[in-house]
Amino acid sequence: MARRSVEIKKIQDRSKRQVTFTKRRQGLFKKAGQLHSMCDADVAVIAFSLAGNAYAFGDPSVSSILDRYRQAGAASPEDIYPVAVNLTAAEKKVGEILEKAAETKGAGGRSVWDKEVEKLGFGEIEEMENAVEEMKKLIGLQKRRILSNESNCGE
Amino acid sequence: MARRSVEIKKIQDRSKRQVTFTKRRQGLFKKAGQLHSMCDADVAVIAFSLAGNAYAFGDPSVSSILDRYRQAGAASPEDIYPVAVNLTAAEKKVGEILEKAAETKGAGGRSVWDKEVEKLGFGEIEEMENAVEEMKKLIGLQKRRILSNESNCGE
DNA sequence: TAGACTATTTATAATGA
DNA sequence: TTCATTATAAATAGTCT
């Protein structure tokens, strides 16, 4: 982010990687603290360096947030409603693209998604949009199921 | 951080705070992913909104990092994942699920998606959401690209 | 190995649709 | 409300101590 644009991929040089880890970890923790202060959100960040050292940040405290997370996460039992959504051809198209993306591990820090998506024509794009909407619905449903024990009326 | 310098203190306006929370949470997760990719560090971020919703990010996964954190200090340097991928964990997860879904095909109206999505835990759901959001952006971009080339009638 | 410095890139607050 | 856009602040890669 400075002097030169840099690829988001593993830094090979040991000492450079170490320096970057320190700088970016500090930046990450700072951002986390700002999110806490500005939005009254409880935030925890844990980072393990390649060397195995643990660094943690938490407002109000790491352990309190982890406890809360465990508690919330434990609320995802098996008693889930079945949903009925049909897979369309477009959805399968999404799958194919993602498959390629996962295989190729694109260079340049970005996934291959971009390139694949760029090849799509107008008709396919609309199908993709629909497919993604379906995905969003499913994900939203599942999320509400999991979080349903929290009875706050958000938004 | 833009247009105007902003104080790092609680935002009083509800909707503004909500918007800021979303934006900054996304930024935080992105940075966490970059730290993971570039420095081979395991990183987890958990954020609870004021409304009580939980958002989590983790490469390679939230729970694995939390487990590791619980064993604080006990971790040896060899415990660390030697992976450096450009795809996020969430993107791969989406890919895996869609792959399975595409294989099985929509048999009786109910796709495999539902079942796969239902298996997701608390932390993974948010990762899925992020991945899908990214897909939506890409698709939107491409759509606009296409539309801007098809003469002048936009939309 | 650890700070400063700063040229740039990146994130984002405000705005607009 | 939720997008996309844009002007600007903030983060940071490379560099030099």
Residue to test with chain B: of A117, A124, A155, most B Cβ within 10 A: A117
Q: Does A147 or B37 have the greater pLDDT score?
A: B37
Q: Does A57 or A151 have the greater pLDDT score?
A: A57
Of A139-148, B1-10, B11-20, the least confident: A139-148
Quickly state the pLDDT bin for B20 (edges 50, 70, 90): very high
Q: What's the whole-number mean pLDDT along residues B147-153?
A: 42
Tokens standing for residue B115: 């079942």
Query: A-chain residues within 8 Å CB-CB of B118?
Result: 80, 82-83, 142
DSSP line for B70-118: HTTTT--GGGS-----SS-HHHHHHHHHHHHHHHH---SS--HHHHHHH
Quickly state the pLDDT bin for A20 (edges 50, 70, 90): very high
Q: Decide: CB of A51 under 7 A of nucleic strand D.
A: no
Q: What's the whole-number mean pLDDT along residues A56-85?
A: 55
pLDDT, mean over chain B: 64
What's CA B11's distance to the chain center, in Å? 25
pLDDT in tens, B52-89: 777 888 776 777 777 777 764 333 222 222 112 223 44
Of A5-14, A60-69, A139-148, the least confident: A139-148
Of A26-35, A108-117, A124-133, B47-56, the least confident: A108-117
Query: Is the confidence at residue A25, as pLDDT, over 80?
Result: yes
Query: Is the confidence at residue B32, as pLDDT, over 70?
Result: yes
| Cα distances (angstroms) measured from residue A12 to each of A28, A54, A67, A103, A133 | 21, 21, 36, 22, 39
Compute the distance between CA of residue B42 and CA of residue B62 in angstroms, rounded to an integer. Answer: 9
Query: Is the confidence at residue A83, as pLDDT, over 60?
Result: no
Q: Decide: CB of B18 under 7 A of nucleic strand D.
A: yes
pLDDT, mean over chain A: 65
Residue B17 CB-half CA count within 13 A: 20
pLDDT of residue B102: 45
Which residue's CA shows the smallest distance to C1' of D9?
Answer: B1
Quickly state the pLDDT bin for B130 (edges 50, 70, 90): low
CA-wise closest residue to A57 among B82, B31, B79, B14: B31
Q: Is B19 helix (H, G, I), strand (E, B) or coil?
A: helix
Helix axes of B122-149 and B89-104: crossing angle, nearest 10 degrees: 80
A residues 5-64 near B, CB within 8 Å?
Answer: 8-11, 17, 20-21, 24-25, 27-28, 31-35, 37-52, 54, 56, 62
Q: Are B128 and B140 in contact (CB under 8 A)?
A: no
Q: What's the whole-number mean pLDDT along residues A101-120?
A: 49
pLDDT of residue A131: 65
pLDDT in tens, A43-63: 888 888 887 778 888 876 777
Quickly state the pLDDT bin for A122 (edges 50, 70, 90): low
pLDDT of residue A149: 37
Q: Are B141 and A125 in contact (CB under 8 A)?
A: no
Q: How far apart are the first and last CA of chain B?
A: 32
pLDDT of residue A136: 66
